[in-house]
Amino acid sequence: MNGIQILLITGVILVAVYFFVRLHNSILDILLLLAMVSGALVFIFFPNASNRIAHKLGVGRGADLVFYLSIVIFWFVILKLYVRIRKLEKIVTDVVRKDALSEAGKISSTDY
Amino acid sequence: MSSEEYYKETFIIIPAYNEKAAISKVLGDLSALGCVIIVVDDGSLEDIKEEVRKYKEVVYLRHKVNLGQGAALQTGIDFAIKQAAKYIVSFDADGQHSAADIPEILSPVFSGEADIVLASRFLVKGKHNASMIKKIVLKGGRWVNYFFTGLYLSDAHNGLRAMNRLAAITIRISENRMAHATEITAQIKKHKLRYKEVAANVIYTPYSRQKGQSSLNSLKIFFDLVLQKLFR
């Protein structure tokens, strides 16, 4: 086993443990996490496997294939997060607005 | 109905964020009109209420956190609708608009000629003192506005507007920040509201120049618009 493999495996296991501690409430989350971790471990232990898949898809190296796929996945994640933020923003707006409107009467009658 | 009665049923909404230095003069100028005035304090850090308190008839609403001008405007409109307002005017807190333009922009709404009137500093020459860069940005803004809404306005981002109750109820602002100006235009088009542009002054004082939006902010508005198009 060479250095990079040790580094990557340590990283993957740390991330997996962290997520497991945080998200152990849903079975689906755990299955997804297990699938991703085992996938990552397989490709770290057998780098040639990713090379073979890459060749089949017309990409020169396995590492390049992983790189291209990660870009697409990151875009997807960023957009999902953006939608989530917009939703949260709408909720905050509704709450703050409701509060402002309900306080309106009080301020004009008691404060002045 | 005399014009005085029309003004009594008119609500002027002033979204304010840290405009303590300017708002007192704005309120003073406006109070002569006899309209109901609503200040929506958008989570200001400055104590705007202290200034507003000097004008007993002014209604003060406060967002507990800062949400943006679009959100503040919508809160004011919600309040006005609840109070049975017949006509609504939006007015910037920094003193860039002139209270003397209000009768002019309200008159097509009073007469029933238009559902919404949008003030424009570019309709007639000599109505503004914007810098060269600001002018270029604003004039570019009308094309962006046209591209997103299909409505070509001579001054897409002017905070001074007048509308009747129908327009106030129909238009819902969901863009909390500055892209709300474009959103309003889009909804005018979508709901086929009758609109009109009327020339009005925009005077930038050193204060409002420093407080107002920088020209760079237009890029932020642009991205808000693009993302909104993608996700609605």
Q: How far is B124 from chain A (nearest CA, A)?
A: 37
Closest CA of chain B from A78, distance in Å:
12
Highest mean pLDDT among A50-54, B102-106, B151-155: B102-106
Q: Are B188 and B168 in contact (CB under 8 A)?
A: no
Instruction: Judge contact between B121 and B141, C-beta under 8 A.
Output: no
The percent of residues above 70 in pLDDT, for chain B, comes to 96
Question: Which residue, among A107, A109, A110, would best test binding to B if mutated, counting the most B CBs under 10 Å from its CB?
Answer: A107
Task: Give the span between the Cα atoms of B201 and B225, in whole angstroms.
Answer: 27
pLDDT grade, residue B35 (50/70/90)? very high
Could you tell me if A82 lies within 8 Å of chain B, comparing CB atoms? yes
Identify the pLDDT of residue B211.
64
Q: Mutate which of A82, A97, A112 to test chain B, going by most B C-beta atoms within 10 A? A: A97
On whether the pTM is more than 0.90, the answer is: no
Say which residue the tokens 């740390």 belong to: A14
pLDDT at B134: 84
Three-class SS state of B130: coil
B59–A100 CB contact, under 8 Å: no
Q: CA of B150: how far to CAs of B117, B153, B186, in Å?
A: 17, 10, 7
Percent of all residues in chain B with a pLDDT value above 90, rounded to a whole number = 54
Q: A98: nearest CA in chain B? A: B75
| Per-residue model confidence as pLDDT tens digits over B168-225 | 999 999 988 878 888 999 999 999 999 999 999 888 777 766 666 677 777 778 877 7
Q: By the CB < 8 Å criterion, does A78 face chain B?
A: no
Per-residue pLDDT at A35 exceeds 80: yes
Task: Give the count of alpha carbons within 13 A of B172, CB side only.
Answer: 4
- DSSP letters, B182-208, are HHHHHHHHHTT--EEEEE--B---HHH
Between helix A47-57 and helix A27-45 the angle, nearest 10°, is: 90
Which of A91, A96, A101, A102 would you mutate first to test chain B, the one with the most B CBs within 10 A? Answer: A96
Residue A81 has pLDDT above 70, yes or no: yes
CB atoms near residue B88 (< 10 Å): 30
CB-nearest partner of B231 from A83, A92, A108: A83
Name the range with the highest mean pLDDT among A27-31, B129-133, B193-197.
Answer: B193-197
Q: Does A64 contact B at CB distance below 8 Å?
A: no
Evaluate whether ipTM surpasses 0.90: no
